[in-house]
Homo-oligomer: A and B are copies of this chain.
């Protein structure tokens, strides 16, 4: 497959500057792109790679056009990274699996699998489960009893959708992620059943509902609700190894980066961003568009639109100032002691004088 820049430009929302007849066959990194490939520039850390690139054309913001070497055409784009995503998608082929239930797939007789869905060897669809049109279950993906998976979804190997959970359309489940594990709900029973105290399991009778266009990362776990639903809102993207507790509600278009943990019954608004390794306590509300810096601990409600960091969170700038001050603390303690002595001496002198 090859496309001229003139054909490509309008499809990716970019304006061609240079030879529109030039054909490219795919996208590549600045440092490895050949004259037949398209590259992309936006991060100043890669300015050297840009200067040395052999790419036939570079997608770039208007402001950065001057840095593109003379040998490369430019595709000027107001949202450069978006245009790159579109270009890459045009040339990219997802791993194709033939439609139908393949030999070695395990599909219960009572399951409803759309005729255009592809069920690979070793994938499993349980009793009463439904799989929508054009959805792919790769080897070892598993959809348990009465769960529903929508249209155009991709379930990678080892992805699990437990009983009765609901997955919308165009959802991607990366390998070994878990939808609908039991929430961590135990009632400490002093009496037990006559043999001393026990942690009595609270049945996790609810489900997980995942709306359209969500992506769930590898080994990410989303617990089913104790009662009712744990919900992941439309278009939200979740990275790898994230923990989402029972009864959590995540709004639309949020971004949850790797290794974040969200405790039970917490609610995130729309467009929330949680950076890597953040921990959020239970029963907390985080407003629309709030952004939380990496490794922070969120214990209290956050209003919409804030950018916060630290444990507990505070405005990001304030947090950075505290961090910068921290290494001075040991010296501060010493200076304090010295200063107190000097003040004491002054006080003694003053006393002597009176």
Is there contact, CB below 8 Å, between B160 and A176?
yes
Partner of A79, one of B88, B190, B279: B190
Q: Tell me whether A202 and B85 are in contact in the complex, defined as CB-CB below 8 angstroms, given that A276-B263, A325-B329 are known contacts.
A: yes
Is there contact, CB below 8 Å, between A145 and B95?
yes
Q: Tell me whether A276 and B261 are in contact in the complex, defined as CB-CB below 8 angstroms, given that A200-B86, A219-B178, A335-B340 are known contacts.
A: yes
A335 to chain B, nearest CB (A): 6
Is there contact, CB below 8 Å, between B221 and A221?
no
A243 to chain B, nearest CB (A): 4
Is there contact, CB below 8 Å, between A336 and B335?
yes
Partner of A325, one of B190, B205, B243, B330: B330
Is there contact, CB below 8 Å, between A28 and B227?
yes
Give 6 new A-B contacts, CB below 8 A, not counting A181-B240, A322-B329. A29-B228, A174-B182, A197-B253, A221-B258, A326-B326, A335-B336
Is there contact, CB below 8 Å, between A32 and B79?
no
Q: Tell me whether A144 and B157 are in contact in the complex, defined as CB-CB below 8 angstroms, given that A27-B205, A82-B200, A241-B243 are known contacts.
A: yes
Q: Which residues of B contact A82 (CB under 8 A)?
A: 187-189, 200
Is A201 close to B, CB under 8 A? yes
Is there contact, CB below 8 Å, between A160 and B158?
yes
Is there contact, CB below 8 Å, between B276 and A277?
no
A45 to chain B, nearest CB (A): 5
Q: Which of A1-9, A16-24, A61-69, A119-127 contacts B (4 or more CB under 8 A)?
A: A119-127
Q: Which residues of B contact A32 (CB under 8 A)?
A: 227-228
Q: Tell me whether A227 and B27 are in contact in the complex, defined as CB-CB below 8 angstroms, given that A243-B241, A323-B311 are known contacts.
A: yes
Q: Which residues of B contact A202 (CB under 8 A)?
A: 81, 84-85, 88
A-B contact pairs, 7 of them (CB 8 A): A29-B228, A32-B228, A85-B187, A221-B258, A243-B258, A281-B294, A322-B330
A177 to chain B, nearest CB (A): 8
State A124–B102 Cα separation when bound (angstroms). Answer: 13
Is there contact, CB below 8 Å, between A158 and B176?
yes
State A189–B144 Cα separation when bound (angstroms). Answer: 35
State A88–B183 Cα separation when bound (angstroms). Answer: 14
Is there contact, CB below 8 Å, between B327 and A336?
no
Q: Which residues of B contact A279 (CB under 8 A)?
A: 259, 276-277, 294-295
Q: Tell me whether A322 and B326 are in contact in the complex, defined as CB-CB below 8 angstroms, given that A124-B157, A186-B237, A347-B346 are known contacts.
A: yes
State A335–B163 Cα separation when bound (angstroms). Answer: 60
Q: Which residues of B contact A157 (CB under 8 A)?
A: 124, 142, 144, 160, 162
Is A316 close to B, CB under 8 A? no
Is A115 close to B, CB under 8 A? no
Is there contact, CB below 8 Å, between A326 and B329?
yes
Quick one: which of A104-153 are within 8 Å of B by CB?
104, 106, 121-122, 124, 126, 138-140, 142, 144-145
Is there contact, CB below 8 Å, between B340 and A347?
no
Shortest beta-carbon contacts, A-B, top 5: A92-B203, A181-B218, A218-B221, A85-B187, A81-B187
A353 to chain B, nearest CB (A): 8
A89 to chain B, nearest CB (A): 5
Partner of A311, one of B139, B295, B329: B295
